[in-house]
């Protein structure tokens, strides 16, 4: 009986000891497994983080490359547009230069016409002055009267035989005057009639026809109206 009890106690004691040993071993194994699992989780986390970092770096690199490509495409597009605008501007400049050249030629032509018109106007003015001077030379003469001195005479008609004046300054029949005619020179004439402030004079001698025609032609400013031989 005692032996049985002792045996039972011994078995129970061994079981208790074994249980305690197994408990301690189990705790150690559990901690070891936990440590291994912790290390595995950390390594996995580090690996995941490393992969995520590499992925992020790759994404960043791709984004940078994409941005550079977009910049390059934009710059190429801008350069094409700028080149197109430069070509249009050059064509516009050529058109403006051509138009400016045409306008310059037209302005030069107008200037030439203005100068020609002014030259012709000046020529007409000079001819009018010449005509007036010659007309005055013929129509405005000074008659040298023996007793009344120099008398201004306005000749309104002349021939080889004599001349007629208007605004006769108290002229009387028989009055004699000496006048100076172009090309003819000094020649005496006497008053043969007076009427309505007009007076007619007859030269003391008849002017030769050739001399008279030469005098009249010399007073004609337009060569086309002169007599041709």
What distance in Å separates the CA atoms of residue 146 and residue 141, rounded to the nearest whole number?
16
Q: Is this prediction's pTM over 0.85?
A: no
Please report, in angstroms and rounded to a whole number, the separation of the first and last CA atoms in the chain. Answer: 196
CB atoms within 10 A of CB 196: 7
User: For 122-144, what is each residue's pLDDT tens digit?
Assistant: 877 766 665 555 555 556 788 89
Each residue's pLDDT expressed in tens, for the chain with a length of 229 residues: 667 666 666 656 666 666 666 676 677 777 776 776 666 767 777 777 788 788 778 788 888 888 888 888 888 888 888 888 888 888 988 888 888 888 888 888 888 888 888 888 887 776 666 555 555 555 678 889 888 888 888 998 999 999 999 887 688 899 999 999 888 889 999 999 998 889 999 999 999 999 999 888 876 655 454 445 4
What distance in Å separates the CA atoms of residue 194 and residue 227, rounded to the nearest whole number?
34
Within 8 A by CB and 6+ apart from 137, the residues are: 182, 219
Give me the domains of the chain, ranges plus CATH numbers: 139-220 (2.40.10.220)
- Helix or strand holding residue 19 (H, E): helix 2-139
Placement of tokens 């032996």 in the chain: 3
């Amino acid at each position: 009986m005692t032996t049985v009890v002792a045996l039972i106690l011994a078995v129970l004691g061994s079981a208790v000891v074994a249980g305690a040993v197994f408990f301690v071993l189990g705790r150690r194994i559990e901690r070891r497994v936990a440590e291994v699992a912790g290390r595995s989780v950390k390594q996995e986390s580090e690996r995941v983080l490393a992969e995520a970092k590499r992925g992020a770096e790759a994404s960043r690199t791709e984004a940078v490359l994409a941005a550079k490509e977009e910049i390059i495409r934009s710059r190429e597009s801008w350069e094409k547009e700028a080149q197109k605008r430069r070509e249009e501007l050059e064509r516009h400049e050529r058109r403006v230069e051509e138009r400016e050249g045409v306008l310059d030629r037209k302005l030069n032509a107008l200037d030439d016409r203005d100068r020609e018109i002014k030259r012709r106007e000046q020529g007409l003015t000079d001819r009018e002055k010449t005509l007036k001077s010659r007309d005055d030379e013929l129509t405005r003469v000074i008659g040298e009267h023996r007793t009344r001195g120099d008398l201004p005479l306005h000749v309104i008609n002349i021939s080889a035989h004599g001349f007629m004046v208007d605004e006769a300054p108290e002229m009387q029949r028989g009055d004699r005057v000496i006048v100076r005619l172009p090309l003819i020179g000094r020649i005496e004439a006497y008053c043969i009639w007076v009427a309505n402030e007009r007076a007619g004079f007859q030269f003391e001698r008849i002017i030769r026809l050739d001399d008279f025609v030469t005098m009249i032609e010399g007073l004609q400013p337009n060569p086309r109206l002169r007599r041709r031989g």
